[in-house]
Chains A and B, each alone.
Chain A
Amino acid sequence: MSTPYAKLPGWVEYGLIPLVNLVVAFAVAGLVVLLVGESPLEAAYHMVNGAFGRGEYIGFTLYYATTFIFTGLAVAVAFHAGLFNIGGEGQAYVAGIGVALACLWLDRFMPWYVVFPVAILGASLFGAAWAFLPGWFQAKRGSHIVITTIMFNFIAASLMNYMLNRVLKPLGSMSLETRTFEAGGQLPRLDWLMSIFGLSVGTAPFNVTFLLALAASFGVWVLIWRTKLGYEMRTMGHSPSAARYAGIKEARIIVITMMISGALAGMMALNPIMGETYRMQLDFVQGAGFVGIAVALMGRSHPAGIIPAAILFGVLYQGGAEIAFEMPSISRDMIVIIQGLVILFAGALEHMFRPAITRAVLAFSGRGRTQAAVKGA
C-alpha cells in the first residue's frame, strides 16, 4: 500500500531515511570486506581518503559525478513521463560520434569555446536520434521502451565498433580510437574553481563539462516544473487517462520526452571525450548509463537529489578505485558489489526501515501517548 501511515517531517523524509539506508548499505558492504579477510575500517579509510583526501581526488570524484549527473537526468526526465529509459548507455555511446565529428572537424582552427557548443549540439543530436526510434516504436506500435532501449544498447555497441574500426580510426593506427584532438578539442580544467577552496586539481580531468551538468540540472528543473511540456509530461506520467482527458497527445509526448532524455544522456559523452582522453575510445561510456538509473532513483528524479546522488556515486567510483589500488585482495568487482548494495538499500529497499523510523520519530516527538497496547485480543 502506498499510503504512508504518517507524514514525516522533511528532515526525516529527505535526510534521515536516506542516511540510514546508506549506513546500512555500507555496513553490509563492510561485512563482505570482512568475509574476504580484509579490514572494513581500512577499506572505509581508503574510500573516504581516495574520494576526498586531496584536491586531485576530489577532482576525480567530481569528474565521475559530472558523467552521472547527465545520465541521471536522462533517466529522470523520461521517468516523469512514465517512461523507463534504460538506453542511456547506448544513447551516450552513439552521441560520442557527434562529439568526435565536431572535434575532428574544428579542433585545428577553432578555440575550445567554439568547438564546445558545436560538440554539445552534436552530442545532443546523436543522443536524441538514438532515443527517437524506441520512442517512436512505443508511440506508434506499442513496443515497450524497456525492451527496445535495451536492444538499442546492443545495436549501439556494434555500430560504434564498426565506426571506430572502419570510419573514425586514423589510417594505419592499431587501436580502436579516433586521433587525438588538438587544442580546440580539449576542454579546460576547472583549476580556478578548485583553487578558490585552496585545492589543486592535479591530473584530475575535472573540466568545464561539470558546469554544463549544473546548467543542465537547472534546465531540467525548469523543463519539468515550469514549462507546458513538463506539465504535460508529468500529467502523462501520473495518469495517462487524465492526460487523454486533457487532450495531451501521448505519442508526441513520448517521442519528445525520449529525445530530450537521449540528448541528456548524450551530453555525457563530452566529459570523457573532450574532458579527459581528447579522443573517442572504444567503450568510453563504461556503464555510466546504467549508473544513471540508480542515480535517478536515489535522487527521486529531482535535480536537487540527482546532483548529490551523482556525487555519491562519484565517491564510490573514485574511492573504490583507491581501495582496489591500496588493498590488492579487494578487486574492482568488489566495488561493483558495494555499488550494488547502495542501489539495493537506497533504491529497491528504500522503504525497509521506514515503518521503524516512523515509529521512533513519532515516539520521540511525544505524539503517541502512552497507552496500554492491545494484548491478545
Chain B
Amino acid sequence: MGELAIELKGIDKSFGLVHANKDINLKVRKGTIHGIIGENGAGKSTLMSILYGFYQADRGEILVDGRAIDIRDPNTAITAGIGMVHQHFMLVENFTVLENVMLGAEESWILNAGISKARAELKRLEREYALDVNPDAVIEELPVGLQQRVEILKALYRKADILILDEPTGVLTPAEADHLFRILEQLKAQGKTIILITHKLREIMAITDEVSVMRRGEMVATRETAKTSVEELAELMVGRRVLLRVEKGEAHPGDVKLSVKNLTVRDSRGVTMVDDVSFELRAGEIVGIAGVAGNGQSELLEAISGIRRAVSGNVHLGGEAIDVTGHADPAELRRRGLAHVPEDRHHVGLVLKFEESENAILGYHDDPKYRKGFVLDIDAIRADAEANIQKYDIRPPNARLKTANFSGGNQQKIVLAREMERDPDVLIIGQPTRGVDVGAIEFIHKRIIEMRDQGKAVLLVSVELDEIRALSDRILVMFAGRVVGERKPDASEGDLGLLMAGVEGPKEAAE
C-alpha cells in the first residue's frame, strides 16, 4: 500500500482576489482510486489543473512517484505520466477517434507510418481495458459517453499512469456511468492510479478507496471510503448538516398553463426527435420528463421555448397559442411568462466571455428597467446581478468577473438565478443540478418546490432519475421521441427503468 503516486505539499493559488487553493496537502496512493469532493468553487478543478500544468501554483511542491518535479505545462505532466479528462471535453469534433488520439503525439512529420502504429496501439488499449470505440468514427457523431472514452484513450495512449477525471459522470447516462466505472476498476486492477472529482456521493462510496474533501480552497479532510458515510461527507463539504432528501407537500394543481398537442420535431438532419407528443402542465405542479439522454427531451424543450421550429403540433401558453411551427420568438415568450433553463449552459444558457452581470440579463436585456435613455443602465444591471449572487450564494461574489472563470456549478447557479427570479408563470428546466454540489442541490430543489407552491407550473427534464422522482408530481417517460408512459413519483425504479428502455411495463394507473 504505502507508496505514493502523487504528493502535493503546500499548494497555494490565487486568481486576483480569489484564493482558490490555500496551502493544500494531498497524498494519493499508487494503484488506488482517490475521490475529491467539495462545494462548487471549492478549488477542485484548479488543484487538478495545477497538477496537470494548466495553471502554475503560486507556492508549493508537486511530487510524482516520490520525486519533486516542476510541472510548467501539460507536456511536463504528460511526460511525468499524468493524464487528464477535463470537465469539458477537449476533442476536435470533426476528427476521427484515431486522429484525436494521435493529435499532438504524432511522433513524426509523415503521418502514415504513425497511423498504422497508432491504430495497433489503440486496438491493444481498447482490448486491455474493454474500451470499445470505433477508431474511425467521427467525434461529433459519438454520444458523450463514447467521447469520454476517447479522452481516456488519449491519456492512456500517452502512457499515463495517473489519470485525473474531473466530473466525468456529469453528462453521462446511468448506464454509461456504470460502464465508466467498470473501466476505472479495470485500470486500477492494472496498477493505474485514478483521481476522481465528482459531486455524486453515491459514486464516491461505490468506487473510491479514499476520499478528500475541499471547502473554500482548503483541504479539510481525507477519509478512507470504507470508514465514512454519505452524511458525514456531505457535512464535511458544506460545513453543516445537509438535507439529502427533498421535503415537499401535496401539490395543488390549478389551471392548465402549458398545453402541448401532437408536437413533432425533427433535428437538422431530418430525424424525428419528438414524435407526436401531447401533455398538459398545470399551475402548481411539477411534471418531470424522465428518459435516457437523447430520446427527444432536449428537442422538446427547445421547441416549446421557441429556439427550434417544430414540424407540426399546437402549444398553448396560458391559453394563448405559441407559433411553434413558425416564428415563435423566445423574447416574446419570456414576456409572456415563460422562463427556460437550458440544458447546455455553455453554448446556450451563457456567453462565457461575458461578465457575470451581462449574463444575468441574457434574454431579459430588453427590459426597460435596464435602459437609461439611449444606453444600458449598467448600475441597475449590476445591482440586479449582485442581488442574485447574494440570494443564490454564487461564488466568488463578483458580478464583474468573466463567466468562464466561475466554477461549473456556480455557472449553473447564474442561469438558474436569472430564470427563476423573474417570477415566471411557467418554468422549463433542463438538468437543473448538473455539476452542482450537494448543498446547492438542496437549495435549488427547495427553490423549485417553492416556485411550485407559489402556483408556478414547472416542467423538469433530468437524466437523474433520483431527481425526477424526488421533485415531480407526475412523471412522463420519453423513449425514442414518444411519451411512452405516465407514472406517479412513487413508481418503482424498476418500472421506470423498463419504460425508459422502451419496454412497456404493465400499465400502472396514472390517475
Contacts and interface: CB of A to CB of B under 8 A. Distances in A.
A247 B59 contact: no
B365 A228 contact: yes
Contacts of A1: 90
A226 B379 CA distance: 11
Nearest to B350: A242
Given A245-B330, A368-B56, A374-B76, A239 B371 contact: no
Interface string B176-199: 000000000000000000000000
Interface residues of B, number: 51
**Max chain A CB contacts within 10 Å: which of B70, B72, B73, B342?**
B72
Nearest to A362: B56
A235 B362 contact: yes
Nearest to B335: A247
**Max chain B CB contacts within 10 Å: which of A7, A231, A246?**
A246
B69 A246 contact: no
A371 B365 contact: no
Contact of A232 (B54, B79, B365): B365
Contacts of B90: 1
Contacts of B370: 228
A5 B55 contact: yes
Contacts of B329: 247
Nearest to A243: B351
Interface string B65-90: 00111101100100111000000001
**Max chain B CB contacts within 10 Å: which of A232, A362, A368?**
A368
Contacts of A371: 61, 68-70
A141 interface: no
Contacts of A235: 351, 354, 362
A196 interface: no
A241 interface: yes
A248 B307 CA distance: 11
Contacts of B58: 367
Given A1-B90, A247-B363, A242 B349 contact: yes
A219 to B, nearest CB: 11
A6 interface: yes
A241 B90 CA distance: 19
B15 A7 contact: yes
A373 to B, nearest CB: 5
Contact of B68 (A234, A241, A248, A372): A372
Given A228-B376, A235-B362, A244 B330 contact: yes
A244 B306 CA distance: 9
Interface string B131-172: 000000000000000000000000000000000000000000
A286 interface: no
B80 A245 contact: no
Interface string A213-246: 0000000001000111001101100110110111
Nearest to A6: B56
Interface in B370-402: 370-371, 374-376, 378
B38 to A, nearest CB: 22
A228 B363 CA distance: 11
B334 interface: yes
Interface string B343-361: 0100111111110001000
Interface in B48-62: 53-56, 58-61
A173 interface: no
Interface string B102-133: 00000000000000000000000000000000
Given A228-B371, A244-B330, A245-B348, A368 B72 contact: yes
A222 B53 CA distance: 39
Nearest to B330: A247
Interface in A178-193: none
B306 A247 contact: yes
Contacts of B466: none
Interface string B296-338: 0000000001110000000000000000000001111110000
A362 B71 CA distance: 13
A209 B376 CA distance: 29
A248 B365 CA distance: 10
B366 interface: yes
B143 to A, nearest CB: 20
A246 B306 CA distance: 10
Contacts of B374: 227
A174 interface: no
Interface in B229-279: none
A373 B358 contact: no
Contacts of B358: 231
Contacts of A7: 15
Contacts of B349: 242, 245
Interface in A322-377: 359, 362, 367-369, 371-374, 377
A3 interface: yes
Interface residues of A, number: 32
A246 B365 contact: yes
Contacts of A239: 347-348, 351-352
Nearest to B329: A247
A368 B351 contact: no
A218 to B, nearest CB: 12
A222 B372 CA distance: 13
Given A372-B68, A373-B70, A241 B56 contact: no
Contacts of A373: 69-70, 76
A359 B332 CA distance: 50
A367 B67 contact: no
B258 to A, nearest CB: 18
**Max chain B CB contacts within 10 Å: which of A226, A228, A247, A374?**
A247
Given A246-B363, A373-B69, A374-B69, A227 B348 contact: no
Nearest to B358: A231
A214 to B, nearest CB: 19
A247 B307 CA distance: 8
A241 B345 CA distance: 11
A239 B362 CA distance: 12
B348 A241 contact: yes
Nearest to B375: A226
A367 B365 CA distance: 42
Nearest to A373: B70
A293 B363 CA distance: 31
Contacts of B76: 373-374
Nearest to B59: A369
A234 B352 CA distance: 12
B363 A368 contact: no
Contacts of A245: 305, 307, 330, 340, 342, 348-349, 362-363
A238 B353 contact: yes
Given A5-B73, A6-B56, A368-B56, A374 B79 contact: yes
**Max chain B CB contacts within 10 Å: which of A5, A228, A359, A374?**
A374
Contact of B56 (A3, A5, A242, A247): A5
A226 B376 contact: yes
A368 B13 CA distance: 12
25 contacts: A3-B54, A228-B365, A231-B358, A235-B362, A238-B351, A238-B352, A238-B354, A239-B352, A242-B348, A242-B350, A242-B351, A244-B330, A245-B305, A245-B342, A246-B331, A246-B362, A246-B365, A247-B366, A367-B58, A368-B70, A369-B61, A371-B61, A372-B70, A373-B69, A377-B80
Interface of B: 15, 53-56, 58-61, 67-70, 72-73, 76, 79-81, 90, 305-307, 329-334, 340, 342, 344, 347-354, 358, 362-363, 365-366, 370-371, 374-376, 378
Given A222-B375, A367-B58, A369-B60, 6 more contacts: A239-B348, A241-B347, A245-B305, A245-B362, A372-B68, A377-B69
